[in-house]
A and B are shown apart, each in its own frame.
Chain A
């Protein structure tokens, strides 16, 4: 089971290493980790997708909370969240297949950001299942490489009102 955990952390060197090191030391299974600045220059937000049952996720939440540079931990389990992943993907495009690939890209609301004689580079963003579906749809044509940001998430307004 995948859980999304969001942690507000101090924007200082070593904090990412600390969190990553703790996950490794405690053998927690991490699917993805995305971190970036927030509206407050002293704080960054980490979005971590953890694989495990409720007991594991409870431990992840508590161990994260113990790290002093981690200011706040939110577990989005069962909550209404907007979760997005951004991917750049190089799809092979034999000339005869190009029109259908371009149609596929439009269907997914994705964008072509680079083009070469035998490939297109596509930018796709959306929930994880949309990303996965696009990759699957491209497989028959050939996927050269993929880079993803990992999930970032934010609670919807309905939940935020209660905090």
Chain B
């Protein structure tokens, strides 16, 4: 008797019947899943029983939120779909922050949640929550399976929706009686989603208009976002930038899509971007935006954004086009496909005046900090880390000042090198994301540049790193504050530091209690040597850098101001 399902289109003479839980696991294997992150619970016991001897590696976090961030970072590091499993009720609700994080940054994720028996739904049963209702606004799609014959189809569709078009998290809610029910195994059918149409190729006429505009421009700029990385379009972006001779600025999510070591790189733009990127945007006559969405952190005051520029917007999501700023030349489609067509159609122009202007800005306003001070400066820690890793480590961050310094002072050269929560800005993302990235790339050097307040939120996952022997490194930029909001309180609330500081544990000791390695750095002279020791560690390692407590992130475009109205350009002498 065959264990294979019947070939497509034929009726099986000996129908194979399996419990829903087995069908779920078989479908996951069919979809190429190699790793699952997840946590047990009552209504997922049947599923976990079948996972026990499945050819899938299972990683158990200490909190479902951690598990979700791990799956998210796994997806960001590889481009594959991340998978997380949680039980009903509190297990599912613990996923919400992780799902919203993935939704905002367009990460392909499939979340499988247990649910109470179908006849108990809506009855306030034990550990029941309206999971599909709660997660509807924060998932690309979700479904609750109420017929066991729908199990395989729902999961196949979930993977398809998660990884195609603009990727996003998809949740499938699995009542326990669906997992237990026996059902006939059926072969995969074509995915037919009437309401979901994919558009890869850009419209030929739009691409021609785009090429014309680029060729005619005197002061163009490429504004590249996370979409370039999701589309695996770095080579095509570089081809376009080189062929047409256009400078490139990147969003936080786009860092790494263009090698920052190349002279055309203007590094990051926006609220804490470089002055030369922001001036270039405000002075340019054409913005070539690819895979970016004109987020408010980038545009500053919209009325004064890029006043002289025509806007060409290449994006896979038509809803992002002309949402915040008016777009002159929209091109809907996949970045990789469109950029390669565009690169073929553009001409090289020298644009010497434009590049000279940019060079002058770069010389006058490099990113700087007080290098002479005798305290541990956070920027110095990151620069030294970059130097010792040759700019090649996979960097993951939490959210806040440390995240901005990591984006500013670590030089990124390849896609999927920088993993950060940009859209939602989720504190606590760092440590679980480092774990997910390390699992995804076992041979990579993974460093979590984290803040003390962010780290506090999910530090329980140190247990996970130790349990699975993951050599992740955590560089704690410890200023004893919620740094970013403290900076805002200093600048806009008259230094009334309301509830922005916490009493922290001794992080190095705490790391040791978890079974990891811990170091503390209090003096500038210790920084380089400790980083060296950290990089040589084979076990998970936390280094507590006690940094200057009141250092601020500069430059800064204050809320409501235009991109050119940056503060802090003269905060330090040019050293």
Which residues of A are interface residues toward B (Cβ below 8 A)? Answer: 9-10, 14, 17-18, 21-22, 25, 55, 58-59, 62-63, 65-72
Contacts of A18 in B (CB 8 A): 136
B316-330 toward A: CB 8 Å interface, digit per residue (1/0)? 011100110000000
- With A10-B195, A59-B323, A71-B194 known as contacts, the answer to whether A65 contacts B133 (CB < 8 A) is no
In the complex, B568 has a CB within 8 A of chain A: no
A-B residue pairs in contact (CB < 8 Å), sample of 25: A9-B195, A10-B195, A14-B133, A14-B136, A14-B144, A18-B136, A21-B136, A21-B137, A55-B322, A58-B322, A59-B319, A62-B318, A62-B319, A63-B319, A65-B318, A66-B317, A67-B195, A68-B140, A68-B141, A68-B161, A68-B193, A68-B195, A69-B195, A70-B195, A72-B195
In the bound complex, CA of A35 to CA of B161 (Å) = 26
In the bound complex, CA of A9 to CA of B140 (Å) = 16
Contacts of A22 in B (CB 8 A): 137
In the bound complex, CA of A162 to CA of B258 (Å) = 46
Knowing that A65-B318, A68-B141, A70-B195 touch, tell me 4 more A-B residue pairs with CB under 8 angstroms. Answer: A10-B194, A10-B195, A22-B137, A68-B161
Contacts of B136 in A (CB 8 A): 14, 17-18, 21
Query: Contact at A68–B196, with CB atoms within 8 Å?
Result: yes
List of 6 A-B pairs having minimum Cβ-Cβ separation, nearest first = A62-B319, A71-B195, A71-B194, A68-B141, A68-B196, A68-B195
How many Å from the CB of A5 to the closest CB on chain B?
14
How many Å from the CB of B159 to the closest CB on chain A?
14
How many Å from the CB of B41 to the closest CB on chain A?
23
In the complex, B132 has a CB within 8 A of chain A: yes
Query: Contact at B319–A65, with CB atoms within 8 Å?
Result: yes
Q: Which residue of A lies closest to B168 (CB)?
A: A66
Which residues of B are interface residues toward A (Cβ below 8 A)? Answer: 132-133, 136-137, 140-141, 144, 161, 193-196, 317-319, 322-323
In the bound complex, CA of A66 to CA of B317 (Å) = 9
Contacts of A10 in B (CB 8 A): 194-195
Q: Which residue of B lies closest to A43 (CB)?
A: B194
Contacts of B137 in A (CB 8 A): 21-22, 25
Contacts of B196 in A (CB 8 A): 68
In the bound complex, CA of A74 to CA of B317 (Å) = 18
Q: Which of A10, A67, A68 has the most CB of B within 10 A?
A: A68
Contacts of B319 in A (CB 8 A): 59, 62-63, 65-66
How many Å from the CB of A160 to the closest CB on chain B?
20
In the bound complex, CA of A22 to CA of B140 (Å) = 12
How many Å from the CB of B172 to the closest CB on chain A?
13
In the bound complex, CA of A106 to CA of B161 (Å) = 55
Query: Contact at A14–B318, with CB atoms within 8 Å?
Result: no
How many Å from the CB of B88 to the closest CB on chain A?
17
In the bound complex, CA of A70 to CA of B141 (Å) = 11
Contacts of A65 in B (CB 8 A): 318-319
Q: Which residue of A lies closest to B194 (CB)?
A: A71
In the bound complex, CA of A67 to CA of B132 (Å) = 14
In the bound complex, CA of A67 to CA of B137 (Å) = 10
Query: Contact at B141–A14, with CB atoms within 8 Å?
Result: no
Q: Which of B194, B317, B322 has the most CB of A within 10 A?
A: B194
Q: Which of B144, B194, B195, B318 has the most CB of A within 10 A?
A: B195
In the bound complex, CA of A9 to CA of B195 (Å) = 8
In the bound complex, CA of A62 to CA of B194 (Å) = 16
In the bound complex, CA of A25 to CA of B133 (Å) = 14
How many Å from the CB of B103 to the closest CB on chain A?
12
How many Å from the CB of A131 to the closest CB on chain B?
32
How many Å from the CB of B423 to the closest CB on chain A?
15
Contacts of B161 in A (CB 8 A): 68
Q: Which residue of B lies closest to A62 (CB)?
A: B319
In the bound complex, CA of A75 to CA of B194 (Å) = 19
Contacts of B141 in A (CB 8 A): 68-69
In the bound complex, CA of A96 to CA of B72 (Å) = 73
Contacts of B317 in A (CB 8 A): 66
How many Å from the CB of B84 to the closest CB on chain A?
20
Contacts of B140 in A (CB 8 A): 68
Query: Contact at B194–A14, with CB atoms within 8 Å?
Result: no
Contacts of B322 in A (CB 8 A): 55, 58
- With A58-B322, A59-B319, A62-B318 known as contacts, the answer to whether A14 contacts B195 (CB < 8 A) is no
In the bound complex, CA of A62 to CA of B330 (Å) = 14
How many Å from the CB of A116 to the closest CB on chain B?
38
In the bound complex, CA of A68 to CA of B171 (Å) = 13
Contacts of A25 in B (CB 8 A): 137
How many Å from the CB of A124 to the closest CB on chain B?
35
How many Å from the CB of A41 to the closest CB on chain B?
14
Q: Which residue of A lies closest to B326 (CB)?
A: A55
In the bound complex, CA of A17 to CA of B133 (Å) = 8
How many Å from the CB of B155 to the closest CB on chain A?
15
How many Å from the CB of A53 to the closest CB on chain B?
13
In the bound complex, CA of A65 to CA of B144 (Å) = 21
Contacts of A66 in B (CB 8 A): 317, 319
How many Å from the CB of A77 to the closest CB on chain B?
16
In the bound complex, CA of A18 to CA of B161 (Å) = 17
Contacts of B132 in A (CB 8 A): 14
In the bound complex, CA of A66 to CA of B319 (Å) = 8
Q: Which of A9, A62, A70, A72 has the most CB of B within 10 A?
A: A62
In the bound complex, CA of A21 to CA of B136 (Å) = 8
How many Å from the CB of B79 to the closest CB on chain A?
22
How many Å from the CB of A18 to the closest CB on chain B?
5
How many Å from the CB of B196 to the closest CB on chain A?
5
Contacts of A67 in B (CB 8 A): 195
Q: Which residue of A lies closest to B138 (CB)?
A: A25
In the bound complex, CA of A55 to CA of B144 (Å) = 35
Q: Which residue of B lies closest to A69 (CB)?
A: B195
Q: Which residue of B lies closest to A7 (CB)?
A: B195
Q: Which residue of B lies closest to A12 (CB)?
A: B143
In the bound complex, CA of A69 to CA of B318 (Å) = 17
How many Å from the CB of A143 to the closest CB on chain B?
36
Contacts of A59 in B (CB 8 A): 319, 323
Q: Which of B140, B161, B317, B319 has the most CB of A within 10 A?
A: B319
How many Å from the CB of A11 to the closest CB on chain B?
12
